[in-house]
Chain A
Amino acid sequence: MRLLAELFLSFIRIGLFTFGGGYAMIPLIERVCVDKKKWISHEEMMNITVIAESTPGPIAVNCATYVGLKKKGLPGAAAATVGVVFPSFCILLLISFFFDRFLEIAWVASAFRGIKIAVGILIVDAAVRMLKKLPKKAAPICILLCSFGAMLLIDLFSLHVSTIVLLLAAAGVSLIVCLVKRQTGKGTQR
């Protein structure tokens, strides 16, 4: 029980004191779970990062679930996950109650017209960061160009094609490429 409460409280702290979400949360998670509480080893933390990168959903949730599960099974995973989400939930709930009225103030509306521009820049920046981490091989680069073009067309002409269709197509293509490579790779080796 004490460990459950500790997991819950530690992850509330992580959820409350990290700005920017995603990978920005990993250093604090490491400081708390590896250095201070010694719940997991440094290698495990590296593993978690790989798992978080390979699985969908919020990275903080991936990490919290893993650490909680490791220390106290399913109840631990639930305690850590609920903890890491809890501050966000409360704060955004509060904001949602007055945000529309807040936007009616003239200078706030002006500020957000500027902020909207910053968001465009941040999204492009996020994409460029991901781009740098991609393997420099033909298949990923082709997929990237195709999905970029397809998504632009979808936006410009308001087409009703889901991003999920693009994702699944990309998964299918890379599966085929990988399997074909394996086959031919085996062929030339012999």
Chain B
Amino acid sequence: MIFLELLTGFLRIGLFSFGGAYAAIPLIREVVQSYGWMTDEKLSYMIAVSESTPGSIIVNMATYIGSAQAGVPGAAIATAAVILPAFLIVVLITALVKKVIQNEVFQSVLDGMKACMTGVILATGAYMILTNCTVRTPAVSADAAAVVLTAVLAAIYFGSRKVRRNGISPIVLICLAGIAGVAAYGWK
């Protein structure tokens, strides 16, 4: 049943996304793929939309995916499920076990999980860029326009930090990428 799938799927995401918004993306991708809710392509569109709308990226994605699968009740269930673990864990920590956070063993386990998550996010990003830059027809070949766009956008994004301290924001990058997309792939 879809409501149950949304509930368990997003509880899992909420419980294992250590390290903020982008740590949740591999998990969301995995859940979305395992239930066949959305293509990878659509998911990356939604990441951009969630990044460009206010509020927590994880919550934004949960609301959208829940709504797309099962309307308003689906959105409510997915959103509640994704925030519930964070809510309960903070309540527990402040109530009982504040010392746990400072505990050396706990911190090193956490460092291990964060290291793992970093590797997973890096691989997810690398794989996304790889699929963006190739076309399957069905033989795999390079998509020249996408390769050029990737190089130019990456140069602008990372290069801007040399000019200004914080560089351009993700939203500015997304806007530039949208304009570049229209320029490369056509208005009509």
Contacts and interface: CB of A to CB of B under 8 A. Distances in A.
Interface of A: 15-23, 25, 50-51, 53-62, 65-66, 69-70, 74, 77, 81, 84-85, 87-89, 91-93, 95-97, 99, 103, 106-107, 109-128, 130-131, 134-135, 139-141, 143-152, 155-156, 160, 162-164, 166-167, 169-171, 173-175, 177-179, 182
A61 B126 CA distance: 29
A112 B45 contact: yes
Given A21-B50, A77-B87, A127-B125, A89 B186 contact: no
B178 A59 contact: no
B16 A103 contact: no
Interface string B41-73: 100110111111111111111011001100010
B91 A148 contact: no
A174 B108 contact: yes
A147 B115 contact: yes
B187 A107 contact: yes
A92 B154 contact: no
Contacts of A123: 22, 25, 47, 121, 124-125, 128
Given A15-B55, A162-B30, A124 B50 contact: no
A56 B87 contact: no
B117 interface: yes
A119 B127 CA distance: 12
A134 B115 contact: yes
A57 B63 contact: no
A54 B111 contact: no
B1 interface: no
Contacts of B52: 19
Nearest to B186: A110
Interface of B: 12, 14-27, 30, 34, 41, 44-45, 47-61, 63-64, 67-68, 72, 75-76, 79, 82-83, 85-87, 89-91, 93-94, 101, 104-129, 132, 146, 149-150, 153-154, 157-158, 169-171, 173-174, 176-182, 184-188
B48 A119 contact: yes
A92 B63 contact: yes
A66 B186 contact: no
A22 B60 CA distance: 12
B22 to A, nearest CB: 4
Contacts of A120: 44, 125, 128-129, 132, 150
A131 B118 contact: yes
Contacts of B157: 118, 121, 125
A140 B56 contact: no
Given A114-B179, A174-B108, A130 B129 contact: no
A120 B123 CA distance: 11
A111 B175 CA distance: 9
A181 to B, nearest CB: 8
